[in-house]
Structure 1
């Protein structure tokens, strides 16, 4: 809850009306303060999911005004009590309630936007929306919200301070700034969305047709200081490091709205949330997100979108394990970043220096970005540099990316370069093109092309699934809106891919048909049929040579129950052909129980059983396994009291792999090997119990307990499955690799 003096103006479409308010405005969701009496009203809303574009004047209305402090949005939702779903969720968690979502393009030019959402129940989400219409929920902003219930409706109130985001005000001749504002209601009972614009993020003209407002943005500067302290106690032996104390700070200075200087000393890189158990035996690295504050601010400035998650900057590389393998997390001495966002020119850079530890294993990271933006297009360059003294290795990468957006066309391109200097010098290149066309709000098509040559390597700071790769894709989707008693929309998706390496060797690629049904009661059905054509597998791992895989067919059916009520569930079944001659069955069941509006309990289960799982055991040797894989996750989240949150996450997995056939990979094909057994069992457990007391934006007290472990054991094929699953997980609990408690406090001054 926040009180502020409102003394400057109310905001209206196309003009500014000066208003003076004698009373302070309280963010309580009631919308009964005097300031709202002269705010601009938004009363016309469209149904955008399904995209019938039917006009509604009785679903919701919104009010907007601004003052020297920031921008205020008030939303009234006309939903009677019996049709509402009220539920709290942790920040950025899944919203299983009716909620309001607000998109704000502070620059008014589509260069980026920010998302703010609040549920009936007090749960919130916030995110950065890039110019490519991708959403990054890792960003957490400084803003306030509240809701209030009445018999005939409920209302929400959102306040976003000017200093909470970086933007370049787009001024007209009168000195007023143009901003874009999208307001939505998600009606959980029907899964329908109503908005003040006819576009959603899936439409190429989302930014172009976002409703515009004119507002006076005050000239401001800001200085923020966020110190933190973290104390971690390990209950398992850690080579004399059973207790760890970290103290540091983040300093942020904004001389203007469009300029930000961030300096961090021993920065707040202590991430209290554990990663999920990662059971990955493929050659493709698992892509992790990053919630560390230094890297989530102004993230859209450094964003270059290339296909298949190809990134020149993947911030989880920074502060990761040391080059000599002695540390899982490398301490960071300092970091600095500066960003300038002009009306047309945008540039920024950052530098991060890891601690050298005892033998110069720390790395140094540098990045610079410049882009130019006009009305519907943007172009720019990004360069990165990484120094790795312990490996005697320097890595460089660069990208030139461009984007064009119209009401029907969407074009994104990127040309990539990499160079590695070390014992050997390698220079690589790549290109990415994403072309989309929107026939109507319900019909669209796209074509994609990605090429990375065999010497392209961006992994010192970036991420890629693989190199030596050509990927092409055609996609067509068409939705039919149906208004009857049981069905509201049917969406058809056709997806065709082709893959090869840069020598032209054809790789397995998929052709997909998917039908999505939205039911009138809020339930959803998805039916999917995949065909993978015959091709060469050249990326199984262990630097093995290529071998040919047969064609395969996969079928999947998914059902999601209506979200209304205290219990909901989703289930799927999948029948696949896999490997050389195997078959697999896959089942998933996710259940959510909400015994109280402040409590949410999720019980998720995944099981896959098949006899064609291929893994590279060593160079040019693969095994086809008969395997069973089970993952169970239990998540509990609750609001115990005002600003006091509890979250619990327990995840355990069991992989039993009994070797079926073992092959030597040769140039002539696969040669079966006898008298070998590579069977194994992989058991993992991760558990985390977290209390969070919210003191304000970037101000929290955390108390976290973590416990878990990973156990991989080789065994004879005949012994696979002998040990009970729970017995194996019990060993991970009683003899853990991780057993620690963390106390962390940070505070924004």
Structure 2
């Protein structure tokens, strides 16, 4: 087959002759909101392919005064800009899609899409896009190399791919797309448009060395770290990647979280090796943004806190008290990683992958080893997969394995059925079992229905290598959603949606814990502002989480309660935009009630397209905040909680980004009163005061980023922050001042990661 090589220069100017021979797509329809009306602005997409990759161009008709040229961070998908987006399913099998987008300001987004419509921003690929403008239109131009991701081999002289193209129009608050699909609907990947392109699947090797230099001002200590990652795409659907001493330098700080609940806070991974080519191993469920129900392979377990057993160094074991003290005083929060390797192979009907990682030994501890295998098979409208994970924690004599089978069935364009079954085993615990089954039905563009059932028995434990919100759970629920988009032209409303959920929560023995009713109302206006109202109510029930498995009192009784929330996001007024939110909740514990109030808001100021400031604040109170102290011992407190988040982001040039961010938290809980639960689960006063819980936390970061080349970056980062406990005399101002003056962490880091 003769070689085809285009001479297209990616500059946003569509002046090459190849565009005259490109396929043309003009039929765009409004998909957000899902009205399916013809696009209000003419939009045209050109599509061309050669032996190097795919070329996509957009011609976007739009008046100059309505165009949005503001720059934004990479992967900022959830705020509105003027943007063009391409989604490609290279294997045309509905397993994985790649979403690539460029805004008018040349800011980029790239996401993976799995499980039909589940998007993940942690992946970054090598691709190129630029924009340009004329009086009548603005233009974008994409180049997507065949080497960006591994692809399965296909028979025939052409490759068939699935694709969609869309355009976000900020001043209207709309997305228009071809074909009539959106990831906001339950079925997306399986409904992409099919197109034949030049067949090319070249091999490629990418080598990523990295160097990090750190200076700790508190310990007066400097450190130097280096490592490397290599990715080899064999051109036949296989990719092997390996790392030695993988990049562990986090240049993005996690948000401040104060968690007194029995449940672990879920943090996503930002380390490059553990985000690239990782979608094969992704069996997870987000109930809503920020709330993960489960994830079978949670890569932040790798390099997490080491396992310690200081009793090994006691006198009884031939050690000494000094060794025990040294062990207790020298524990670290993260474990180094010696090496990791993964291999994936994509086929026409079957994919599989292997994953392994090996931690290094730390003082007074030994590293853990992690292994995973995953396979996925497709036949007609069915997908069935299998995954096994194994964690070897020899230092504490623990071996843990999880086996899982997942299944998806798409009998029609309106119905999706999916199921998961998993079994956990270890040398310390009884075998555990968990399952989930969900059905969604979309009879029309206005109506959506869903139903789900979960069962996790009390022995299910996937947390050695994965994440599970809680076990001992048997719950079912249903939801109904109605969205209206057909408002008259003179109406100020763009779209309006109503959502009602019912949820019945039980433990694994089918003892009822509670019933929940929620009503969500969302309305978007044609000026791009929006408001939301949430009403949450529950009946009489039991809280079996706060008790932490107490045998004396395994649950606490609760009477009916409710929560009300209101939020409003304004349109852009010149350089300004603001948001407001408030919430009120009432919980009855029979012996007392808790009334909680919260108000928050913020604004952003964008004096130039490349400069943005933001300020967000919230303040809340609880009359009787209930928390666990120790076994069957609880405390209630008068709570005052204040948060503030301020920052600025500046883009001096196309390749540079400077961000300054400060987050502060004051968490005051005073006038504590002690309680215990009787055998019936009712709280009884202990007639004793409880020590106050006053916490201050602060996180400050200055981060400079310079893009040397795609996927090659230099970072210079200063971080300062930490948390402290305070007495009752400390007000919010003192808590913040003291935490700033006496930080737990005060570090400067320089990092460079280059692709060869």
* CA–CA separation in structure 2 for the residues paired with 1:183 and 1:725: 50
- Residue 302 of structure 2 is aligned to residue 302 of structure 1: no
Partner Cα separation in structure 2 for residue 564 and residue 409 of structure 1? 42
One of 502, 510, 532 as aligned partner of 2:516 = 510
Can you list the C-alpha shifts for 1:251-287, whole angstroms capped at 9, x where unaligned?
Answer: 1111115110001111112222111111111111111
Query: What is residue 74 of structure 1 aligned with on the other side?
Result: 57
1:73 CA displacement: 1.0
1:59: how far off? 2.6
Give the equivalent residue in structure 2 for 1:4.
none
Pair 1:283 & 2:262 matched: yes
- Secondary structure at 1:233 match in 2: strand
Are residues 32 and 509 of structure 1, via their aligned partners in 2, closer, same or farther at CA, if it must alter by over 3 Å?
farther
Q: Does 1:213 align with 2:218?
A: no
1:263 and 2:238 correspond: no
- Give the equivalent residue in structure 1 for 2:662: 650
1:695 aligned residue: 708
Q: CA deviation at 1:58?
A: 4.2
Structure-2 separation of matches of 1:305 and 1:338 = 20
Name the CA distance, whole Å, in 1 between partners of 2:67 and 2:236: 39
TM-score, length basis structure 2:
0.92
- For structure 2, the 5+ residue unaligned runs are 288-292, 309-327
Deviation at 1:564, TM superposition (A): 6.4
Q: CA deviation at 1:485?
A: 2.6
Q: Which runs of 5+ in 1 are unaligned?
A: 1-6, 10-19
Tell me the residue number matched to 1:433. Answer: 437
Aligned counterparts, 1:171-320, within 5 A: 171=155, 174-237=156-219, 242-306=221-285, 308=287, 309-320=293-304
- 8 Å contact kept, 1:108–1:170: no
| Paired residues of 2:94 and 2:116 also in contact (CA < 8 A) | no
2:723 paired residue number? 710
- Structure 1 residues 234 and 414: alpha-carbon distance in aligned structure 2, compared to 1, 3 A threshold: same
In the alignment, the residues of structure 1 paired with residue 19 and residue 140 of structure 2 have an alpha-carbon distance, to the nearest angstrom, of 13
Instruction: Point out 4+ residue stretches in structure 1 off by more than 6 angstroms.
Output: none
Once the two structures are TM-superposed, the CA of residue 110 in structure 1 deviates from its matched residue by 0.7
The yes-or-no answer on 1:119 pairing with 2:103 is yes
Shift of 1:413: 0.4
Which position in structure 1 is the counterpart of 2:414? 408
Confirm or deny: 8 A CA contact 1:132 1:305 kept in the other structure. no
Alignment RMSD: 1.7
Q: Equivalents in 1 of 2:671, 2:441: separation in Å?
A: 48
Give, in angstroms, the shift of residue 249 of structure 1: 0.3
User: What CA distance in whole angstroms lies between the structure 2 residues aligned with 1:560 and 1:95?
Assistant: 11
Residue 474 of structure 1: SS of its match in structure 2?
Answer: strand
Q: Is the Cα contact below 8 Å between 1:537 and 1:547 reproduced in 2?
A: yes
Paired residue for 1:550, among 534, 554, 559? 559
What displacement does 1:169 show?
A: 4.5
Q: Does the aligned pair in 1 maintain the 2:496–2:521 contact within 8 Å? A: yes
Aligned to 2:9: 26
Partner of 1:15: none
Total equivalences in the alignment: 718
Alignment partner of 2:51: what SS?
A: coil
Mapped contact 1:494–1:513 kept (Cα < 8 A): yes
Q: Which residue of 2 aligns with 1:540?
A: 546
1:604 aligns with 2:616: yes
Specify the SS of the correspondent of 2:34: coil
Q: Distance in 1 between matches of 2:79 and 2:13?
A: 22
In the TM superposition, residue 536 of structure 1 has moved relative to its aligned partner by 0.5
Alpha-carbon offset, residue 589 of structure 1 = 0.6
Alignment of 1:730-741 (within 5 A): 730-741=737-748
Alpha-carbon distance in 1 for matches of 2:139, 2:588:
54
Paired with 1:148 and 1:89, the residues of 2 have a C-alpha distance of 17
Are 2:429 and 2:459, in contact at CA under 8 Å, matched by a contact in 1? Answer: no
Q: TM-score, normalised to structure 1's length?
A: 0.93
User: Hey, what's the Cα distance between the residues in 1 that align with 2:187 and 2:335?
Assistant: 43
Determine if contact 2:527/2:571 at 8 Å carries over to the other structure: yes
> Once the 2 structures are TM-superposed, how far is the Cα of residue 129 of structure 1 from its aligned partner?
0.2
Residue 343 of structure 1: aligned partner: 348
How far, CA to CA, are the matches of 1:285 and 1:531 in structure 2? 25
CA contact (8 A) 2:100 2:108 kept: yes
Pairing 1:62–2:45 present: yes
Residue by residue over 1:160-213, the C-alpha shift from the partner in whole angstroms, topping out at 9 and shown as x without a partner, is 111111222544xx4211111111111111211100111211323422321111
| 1:204/1:407 contact within 8 Å kept | no
Report Cα offsets for 1:451-510 as digits up to 9, x if no partner. 110010111111111111112121110111223331122111011111011122222342
- Quick check: 1:591 aligned with 2:603? yes
Quote the Cα distance in structure 2 between the aligned partners of 1:180 and 1:590: 41
Asked if residue 47 in structure 1 is aligned to residue 30 in structure 2, the reply is: yes
Answer yes or no: is the 8 Å Cα contact 2:707–2:714 preserved in 1.
Answer: yes
